[in-house]
Each structure stands twice: as C-alpha cells, then as structure tokens.
Chains A and B, each alone.
Chain A
Amino acid sequence: MAQQPEQPRERVRGREGSPWSGLWAVVAKEMADHLTGMRMRILEILIVLTAVGTVYAATQNLRETVGQDPFILLRLFTTSREPLPAFVGFLGFLVPLIAIALAFDSVNGEFSRRTMSRILAQPIYRDALLLGKFLAGIFTLALVLATIWLLIIGSGMIGLGVPPSGEEVARSLWFLLATIFYGGIWLSVAMLFSIIFRQPATAALASIATWLFFTVFWGILAGVLAPILQPVRYGFPEEILAQAQLELTLTRFSPNTLYTEVMLALLQPTVRSVGLVLPIQLHGAVLGTPLPLSQSVLLVWPQLTGLIAATILLFALGYVLFQRQEIRA
C-alpha cells in the first residue's frame, strides 16, 4: 500500500482562545465551597475567639495608658497579657493553618472525587482551574482577615473610646496586606503539595511539616549553620558581625521571619531597624520617637516584596507541575 504523504500540519500560533475563560466561574464556585464548608466554619470560630480573647485582654491593659500613646489602636494587635500571647502572635500560626486548610486538597481532591477529567473536558484551560482555585483561596483569606481586622478596630474603638487616626488605619491596612500575602505563601505551599501528592492527607501533612520546619527548626538550624559557614577565627569584631549578619540572612529564608519583621515595623512605629544596628548608626537618632509610615514601609519593603515574590514563585512552580500532570490516575 502506498504511503500517504504526510499532510503538513497547519500551525495555529499559540493556543486558541483565552487561558482565563471560565476563571471567574471557578473562583465563584471555589469561594462558595470555602465559605459554606464546615472546615472554614471551624476555623472562623477559632479565629474570632482568638481575636475576641486577645483584644479583650489588650483593652484591659491599655485602658490605663489611653491618651499617652498616639498609636493606641495598633497596640491592640501587639499587646499581650499573661497567659495569652498578643493577637499577632496567634496570627503567626493561625494564618498558615487557615491557608493550608483551604488548599491542601484543592487539586488532589478533584482527582479523588473523580471530577478532574470531567471539569477539564469543559472548554477551559488548566490555567483557569488552578489560578481560579488560588484566587478563591486568597480572596477567602482576605475576606476572613478583613473581617477580623474590622472587628478588632471596631471593638477597640468601643472598648477604648478613641477614634483611629489616619496613620493608624493606614499602618494596619498595610499590615492586613502583609498578612494576606503571608497566608498566600502557605496557600501556594499547600496547593503545590496537593498537586504533587495524590492523597489529601499526605499533602496536608507535608504542608504542616514544612510550616513546622520553618517555624520551629529553621531558626535553630540558622544558629547552627552560621558558625559553620562563617566561623569566628580570630575574634575580630568584623568576623562576629559577619556571622551575625549571615545568621540573620539565613533566618530570613523563613516566611515567618519576614512576616514578623514586617509586622514589627508596621505596628510599632518606633522600630527603626529590623536588622543589626551598630551604636554608631544610631548617632543623632531620637530614640523612642515614631517613624512616619512611609519610612516604616520603606524599612520592610524588601520583606514585603519577598513575601509576595515567594507566593508568586511557589504558585508558578505548582502551575508548571500541574500543566505537565497526566490526567490519568
């Protein structure tokens, strides 16, 4: 039989249509799932209880100093009273918990429910599905955090009887933004694991293990690694300084460190540096006076962009893996 000549394949430049068609349908569906799901309700109760408890405790403490502090409302977030830690301390682990809970079964859940091939057989690209799920997670997180933010500011106004100043609102809004992206990192991590592992339980465990590693062990590890990589041989101040600098750099690979630093600078206007400060650098500084907002933001700009960049980077990694994934189990 004569071989048919190979038909020249007609080339359509790029892909057909928009990669985002169906995106908002996915976002709407996923957000509806998040907001009505039992999982989310439990977390909401948890976080509202935390907010009420810590803010109440903080109000009790702050009553005595009302009028002396120009940033009294910001103190609501950071003031602690034994035995409770401050609200921001709680946020440091509640936000990752919420983010992981929102995303650990986002992709593999579709496989285990056997809905993945059915959804991808609709006229949408995978891009829309993955980005839709991510955006739905971020929006849900933003919604929850914004609600709590309003609750805290509101109850603080009632409890303390002072209206917030423009600067306080601006600072706490920046803080809200930083918190959302801090959640975004853990959302991306959980989503990445939900793409890699087919079992939702494995993905959840892996996410929590990663979080634990950075929260508990990374700081210790940085303390061990710095002297090895940058040993102090002769005891020169430069050597000691370099070692401390390295340790600080290492700890900043952890999103927790970045977030803590951002939080510190934004909520405590008197904080002038989040790194090492030599006495000579403080020459001429009036200690204890607050910095203007723009300077505080500038101070943690690298940390802030780092949080956002890490979110995007992790999402991109998940995106590439998901695009290459075979639909067959």
Chain B
Amino acid sequence: MGELVVETHDLTKKYGDLVAVDKLNLSIRQGEVFGILGPNGSGKTTTILMLLGLTEPTSGSVRVLGLDPARQPLSVKARVGYMPDEVGFYDELSARVNLIYIAKLNSLPRAEAHRRIEEALTRMGLHDVADQPVRTFSRGMRRRLGVAEVLLKRPQLVILDEPTQGLDPEGAREFLNIIRSLKQDGITVLLSSHLLHQVQAVCDRVGLFHRGRMVLEGSVPELAQKVLAGAYHVWLQVEGPEETIREALRQLPGAQDVTREDHNRYRVVASEDLRAEAARAVVQAGGHLLSLGVETPSLDDIYARYFEEVHHGTAT
C-alpha cells in the first residue's frame, strides 16, 4: 500500500443551510485511480474545490500530498493538476499561447517551459494545431489541451472533473486511454463522473456520493458484493424439462434466485461464481447444456440498485 495522497477527516462544507459535503472521510493512495461518482449536486465538485484550496471547508481537515490546501495553497496547487468540468480557454489565443500563460503563472523558467509545452502538446496529439486559436478546437481537443496544461506542472496528483462528459464515444475512449497512461506514469488520478461504465473501465476504486456523503467506497467487485449481495449473474442455455432443471439450479449452494428468461435460458443470481457447479447440476438433472456464462456486475447495476434502496428507504 502506497502512502496517502489525499486524506480528509470529517470534511464538511455548508452553503448557508445547505450541506454540500457532509463529514467526508476520503483517502486515496499513491498511484491509484479513484473515481468519485454521484448524481449532480451530490458534492463532487465542492469536494474537489476543497482539495485544491479554492473553497474553504466549514469544518474538518484536508491533507493533499501531506499539505493543508487552506494554509499552503501555493505548494498544493504547484503539485496538483486540475481540469475543471467544461474546461475553458482563451478562445482567441492559440493553444500554445494558452499554455505559455499557465507556464508563466507556474513560474517555470522560459527554456524549461518551452520544453514541457512541446512535450505536452506532442503527447496529447495537438502539436500540429498548436498555433491555431482554441476557438477552432473541438470539445475533445479542448479536453486534451486541458490535460496538456495539467502535464506542464509535472503533477503528482491529477484531478479531473467530469473529464468525459459530452465527448463522443471515440473521444471518450481516447480520453480513458489518456487516464490510463497517467496512471502508468505513476500519477495519482482523482476523477469525478456520472458516466458509470467509463469510471468502471479506468478506476481502481470508486466512492459513491449521495447528498454530500460518501455512501459507498471500494473497488467495483467489492461494491457489487455490498450492494447487490448476489454479485454474480450466471446464465445458462439448457434443453430439457424445465421443472427439474430449475429445481437443480435452486439446490445449488449460494444460489439466491433462479429465473427462466427464454424457453431454454436460465439465470442464476449467486454470491459467487457458480458456473462449474451449475453445469454439473444441470447435466446430472438430465438437461442438455448448450452454453453458459457469467456476467460481471456493472457499476450501473450497483448504482441503480443503491438508489433504488435509498428511495425505498426514504419512502417507508
């Protein structure tokens, strides 16, 4: 386990009566890709702003790279790259000039700044358009320019707020690869999103936010275990007498629910991977097993199920 890059303790932010973030305890280890999930208004962006020292917490403590963002904002901001949602640039200036401004604000020496800018532009595939005004850039190019800007600092931690929102599938896929390449460089990444399948694709761990609280935290399989309980959906295609097969599947240890979907397609919900046991049971019961497989739970399922429970919880 690496050392902690982000650590918050009972972090709270109130806007008047509205509690935007409520007693948040978050810890992110070095080299990890952590996803903050949650519906709009669940406190994701407020949390990020507090990590950067752009908003003062009402109470609680924050440590980013061992520093206090409220007290040592310059050190924190020199080491942490931040790309806001809907990142904006000076449209009439070229990509390169936009980056030069940022390099100057970071007090990089001229030669070093030049080197890093070329490097970042090349890495983000923007080298050929570097001297065009940002006005002409597509949304995906702007996001990549945003990452290029973040890379100028050689950050230890990168915070991306809704990085793939509004991108076409191709652009989003490309962007996820960028996030993976950041991880390969040993950079810790914190990203917020409500696009679950994308978060699932890149994140090591996720935290589910709801009304300012982090209600769930862990890797996707862990969350599935917690929320869906029966995390594994085993499906089988079997020919044979329905009742016997159904009964045989129901007898399996760990099976929680058996449903028949089509005339010969069954689904077993279980707490573990029951493929081998299910196959044996079906064959022993006299069925002809045609095919079977297991569906790993998606974050969408977890998310939907969690909020379903929350709503039921509040209704009763």
Contacts and interface: CB of A to CB of B under 8 A. Distances in A.
Nearest to B15: A326
Main secondary structure of the interface of B (DSSP, over half): mixed
Given A9-B61, A326-B55, A328-B46, A17 B87 contact: no
Contacts of B84: 114, 117-118, 121
B266 interface: no
Nearest to A327: B54
B112 to A, nearest CB: 15
B89 interface: yes
A7 interface: yes
A94 to B, nearest CB: 25
Given A16-B71, A22-B107, A328 B49 contact: yes
Interface stretch (B98-106, B121-129, B199-207, B238-246): B98-106
Contacts of B75: 16-17, 123
A317 interface: no
A282 interface: no
B77 interface: yes
B72 A16 contact: yes
Nearest to A124: B105
Given A118-B84, A123-B78, A29 B101 contact: yes
A12 B61 contact: no
B72 A118 contact: no
Contacts of B175: none
Given A21-B107, A22-B105, A118-B84, A123 B90 contact: no
B149 A119 contact: no
B154 to A, nearest CB: 13
Main secondary structure of the interface of A (DSSP, over half): loop
B52 interface: yes
Given A21-B107, A327-B49, A118 B149 contact: yes
A21 B105 CA distance: 8
Contacts of B217: none
A4 B83 CA distance: 34
Contacts of B102: 122
A114 B105 contact: no
B86 interface: yes
Among B82, B89, B104, the most chain A Cβ lie within 10 Å of the Cβ of B104
Nearest to B79: A123
Interface in A100-154: 113-115, 117-125
B39 interface: no
Contact of B77 (A7, A10, A121): A121
Interface residues of A, number: 30
B8 interface: no
Among B71, B72, B80, B83, the most chain A Cβ lie within 10 Å of the Cβ of B71
B150 to A, nearest CB: 9
A25 interface: yes
Interface in A5-44: 7, 9-10, 12, 15-17, 21-22, 25-26, 28-29, 33
A313 B90 CA distance: 30
Contacts of B106: 122-123
A16 B73 contact: yes
Interface in B130-158: 146, 149
Given A29-B101, A113-B88, A115-B88, A123 B49 contact: no
B101 A25 contact: yes
A15 to B, nearest CB: 8
A118 B104 contact: no
Contact of B72 (A12, A21, A121, A125): A12
B74 interface: yes
A21 B107 CA distance: 8
A12 B74 contact: no
Contacts of B45: 328
Contacts of A25: 101, 104-105
B3 interface: no
Contact of B74 (A17, A113, A118): A17
Given A328-B46, A328-B55, A117 B82 contact: yes
A22 to B, nearest CB: 5
B87 A114 contact: yes
25 contacts: A9-B61, A9-B68, A12-B68, A12-B72, A22-B107, A26-B105, A28-B104, A29-B101, A117-B49, A118-B84, A118-B87, A118-B146, A118-B149, A121-B52, A121-B54, A121-B82, A121-B84, A122-B77, A122-B106, A123-B77, A123-B78, A124-B105, A326-B55, A328-B45, A328-B49
Interface of A: 4, 7, 9-10, 12, 15-17, 21-22, 25-26, 28-29, 33, 113-115, 117-125, 326-328
Given A114-B88, A121-B52, A123-B107, 8 more contacts: A16-B74, A17-B75, A28-B104, A115-B88, A118-B88, A122-B105, A326-B15, A328-B55
10 residue pairs, one from A and one from B, having the closest CB atoms: A114-B88, A25-B104, A121-B82, A122-B105, A123-B78, A17-B74, A123-B77, A117-B84, A123-B74, A16-B72
